[in-house]
Amino acid sequence: MQIIIKTKNFELSSALEKFVNDKVQKLEKFSHAQSQELFVELEKETNHHRKGDLFLAIIQLQLPGKMLIARSHGEDLNKAIIDAKDELEIEIKKYKTKTIETPRRKIRKSGAQNL
């Protein structure tokens, strides 16, 4: 899985890049596709609040027939990345369940009608 990281309003440090790669790489065991690209967008929002920094983490994964997107806001960038990863993990599980169960339901339904 190829991880593409894009930042806005701040520089990407090597420590942050390593953190993102470590956390997001764990999604590979759920998607089972080696040639997929995973897009991670990290943004520092500066104009919408009075004090402190506010961060946005967006993770996008293109699967056959669907684009999965997870977003998370927070004052801590690392926590926002982890929350977005957890949200995307849930979305991948839902997608896989749906792709497996839909053909099974069709077979069960057609088999029940033929009896």
Contact call for residues 20 and 81 (beta carbons, < 8 A): yes
Structural domains of the chain, count: 1
pLDDT tens figures, 25-81: 888 887 766 558 899 999 998 765 566 778 999 999 988 888 999 999 998 999 999
pLDDT reported for residue 48 = 59
Strand (E) positions, 1-115? 2-8, 37-45, 54-63, 66-74
- Domain with 90 in it: 2-114
Q: Which amino acid is at 33?
A: A
Asked if pLDDT for residue 18 goes beyond 70, the answer is yes
Here the CATH number for the domain that contains residue 80 is: 3.30.160.100
